[in-house]
Amino acid sequence: MARYLVTGGAGYVGSHTVLALLERGDEVVVLDDLRQGHRAAVPEEAELVEIDLADRDRVRAVLQAGRFDGIFHFAALSLVAESMREPLRYMAENVGNTLWLAEAAVRAGCRRLVLSSTAALFGVPERIPIDEESRLGPVSPYGESKLMAERGLEWAVRLHGLRFASLRYFNAAGADPGGRLGEDHDPETHLIPNAINAALGLGPPLVIFGTDYDTPDGTAIRDYVHVTDLADAHLRVMGRLGMEASCRYNVGSGMGHSVREIVAAVERVSGAPVPLVEGPRRPGDPPVLVASNARLRRDTGWRPHHGELDRIVGTAFAWRRAHPTGFPRIRAAPERARRVPVPLGV
């Protein structure tokens, strides 16, 4: 059994990873300011420390007291379009929070960190599928912020003996097959939940962003990877840091699906039409993003277990139908605060 700190563990990918760690018997402390995350997404067995990563003194105190075997770092701003409007906030927050977190970890003697990174590092790719040797060239401040964070952490590898892995996610999608967790963003910008909401009458008609791409049906192609498979990749890669000081992996299913194929899958799964309108391209969207997951498979034995498109859409649909308003919004949390095991009086 190991003990992990999970920043952003109340968020979408973070909470599914927390669940996977708990199921394996590990101890988990979640650090989340609940700006985007949900208190109800943190299982009872995990401790929740409700603080902002920018609060460096308290982050240091958590690290010092926690005696963690490693950190999974999910907490970040993560919307490409928003980053085009607020580039400096994205850079300052994502880069600064990551590097100060690593500094606190190194000081506390915690030397393993897995970073939640992104396909946005590759910008408009030269070739498909995208492997780890593909040219890096972010075309958004969001992608740039993750690349800068990676580069900063590489210096901690060289000079502080940090062991660091970066997981470049493609499109995380789906929900816990056990129905315990799902995807709940506000505002929701992602394709699958927007299409499901439209089919269920819970949201406006879906807008297809661009029908004139150079793809077989004219809509953009993405690589959708089930969030539970993504969580599994995190656990495997953290294990890998026992052997390697620094590594990076692209995490995707290796298969591409167009926006229209997603709409068709939602209609199959829900049995309802997806009301939609065709709109212009969304700025910054590359036409095709598909991962090569060969390195991840080879090094860690990872395989997608929920990779079928209808499985991904089906689990997302089941969660949303069971939770039409998303996670319950629990405001006060005195009972939760009492369970926090670390001294936070800094």
**Catalytic (active-site) positions:** 142
196 interacts with ligand UFG by CB under 6 A? no
Tell me which residue of 128, 285, 130, 287 sits closest to 220, measured CA to CA: 287
Q: Binding-site residue total for ligand UFG (CB under 6 A)?
A: 21
The values of phi and psi at residue 166, to 5°, are: -115, 130
285 interacts with ligand UFG by CB under 6 A? yes
N-terminal to C-terminal alpha carbon distance within the chain:
29
- Taking the complex as a whole, the smallest distance from the CB of residue 323 to ligand UFG amounts, in Å, to 19
- Taking the complex as a whole, the smallest distance from the CB of residue 118 to ligand UFG amounts, in Å, to 4
- Taking the complex as a whole, the smallest distance from the CB of residue 267 to ligand UFG amounts, in Å, to 15
- Taking the complex as a whole, the smallest distance from the CB of residue 32 to ligand UFG amounts, in Å, to 18
297 interacts with ligand UFG by CB under 6 A? no
Nearer to ligand UFG, 53 or 80 (CB): 80
Selected range binding ligand UFG among 17-25, 113-121, 129-137, 177-185, rule: CB under 6 A: 113-121
78 interacts with ligand UFG by CB under 6 A? yes
- Taking the complex as a whole, the smallest distance from the CB of residue 119 to ligand UFG amounts, in Å, to 4
Binding mask 122-151 for ligand UFG (x = CB under 6 A): --------------------x---------
Q: Which of 282, 295, 297, 336 binds ligand UFG (CB under 6 A)?
A: 282
Q: What's the per-residue H, E or C state across the chain? A: CCEEEEECCCCHHHHHHHHHHHHHCCEEEEECCCCCCCHHHCCCCCEEECCCCCCHHHHHHHHHHHCCCEEEECCCCCCHHHHHHCHHHHHHHHHHHHHHHHHHHHHHCCCEEEEEEEHHHHCCCCCCCECCCCCCCCCCHHHHHHHHHHHHHHHHHHHHCCEEEEEEECEEECCCCCCCCCCCCCCCCCHHHHHHHHHHCCCCCEEEECCCCCCCCCCCEECEEEHHHHHHHHHHHHHHCCCCCEEEEEECCCCCEEHHHHHHHHHHHHCCCCCEEEECCCCCCCCECCECCHHHHHHHCCCCCCCCHHHHHHHHHHHHHHCCCCCCCCCCCHHHHHCCCCCCCC
191 interacts with ligand UFG by CB under 6 A? yes
Q: Which of residues 144-183 bind ligand UFG (CB under 6 A)?
A: 171
Selected range binding ligand UFG among 66-74, 174-182, 201-209, 327-335, rule: CB under 6 A: 201-209
208 interacts with ligand UFG by CB under 6 A? yes
Q: Which of 136, 207, 340, 344 binds ligand UFG (CB under 6 A)?
A: 207
Nearer to ligand UFG, 49 or 194 (CB): 194
Q: Which of 30, 49, 77, 206 binds ligand UFG (CB under 6 A)?
A: 206
Residues forming the site for ligand UFG (CB under 6 A):
78, 80, 118-120, 142, 171, 189-191, 194, 206-209, 220, 222, 259, 282, 285, 289
